[in-house]
Structure 1
């Protein structure tokens, strides 16, 4: 999950990233402000790198991600952290309880298979096999394609179904499920055949 990175290597990476952005001339006021912010951030990080503690603050990591257009995973890797390994520990520590998980890993270029054609509406109204739900797939699509509007439904998120608190549910323990908002009409008159997630303030 964490591998110590020499500070010289972090400094070289920051200088390299700054150099890449310096090659591009700002085209508007927003880009000019971003460049100024990037220069100040890099200067401060380089001057403080050898005087600070081994681990950067989360705020500093977010600033680096924002300034250099990095993913959160990329910014963490710069300092020696592997966010994807956190998922492994999360499952080991929290598998017993149903909890919200990230929609996808931080590796945004990871190739995945996505549905190309969905089955008939009747297949989604009853228990069906995956082949009936998705008869045709598109292969090796970068996972960041899921961020496009066609794939996202506002308010939707994923959960990992707990292995200890899902008794009586038709969802198998350990499954990953997509949770979508319901309409006001369904909220007032729930469907007895549907599965609902009730989220409380304490979890």
Structure 2
């Protein structure tokens, strides 16, 4: 009986030691995984300042300064699938639009979220994105007024220039207000 009791105690001690070592290895693995960068994390707050400055420039009609922050090969996309390619095309379109179609413009209720995409989950580019939601109050040259919300995703290249901007907006009410079919 003593041999059985002694054998049982030895087996229990071995099992207890084995469980401790498994627990230690699991802890080490968990600690190691927290050192890897997550797929997406918050980016530097400076991008919010850059975004706010850009909205101020656009609102005031200073399209040349607003467009100067774009890379030469930048792309401006709308959620409808339309796009503009190149800094010059973006500046030309928005200068024409801001000066000849829009009489006054005011942005409010801004929400900002700077993120760094470390591992893209879909078609988005790796790097820093500034996500922005805001309310737009616009009066067009034809005196039509409109209020709506828009969402913009801004991607910055390594030189902190905008190389992609995506604007999610329903253009149907805008086209109706300006009389465009």
Compute the TM-score of the two structures, normalised by the length of structure 1: 0.22
> Greater relative contact order: 1 or 2 (C-alpha under 8 angstroms, separation 6 or more)?
2
Structure label with greater radius of gyration: 2
Compute the TM-score of the two structures, normalised by the length of structure 2: 0.24
Which protein is richer in strand relative to its size? 2
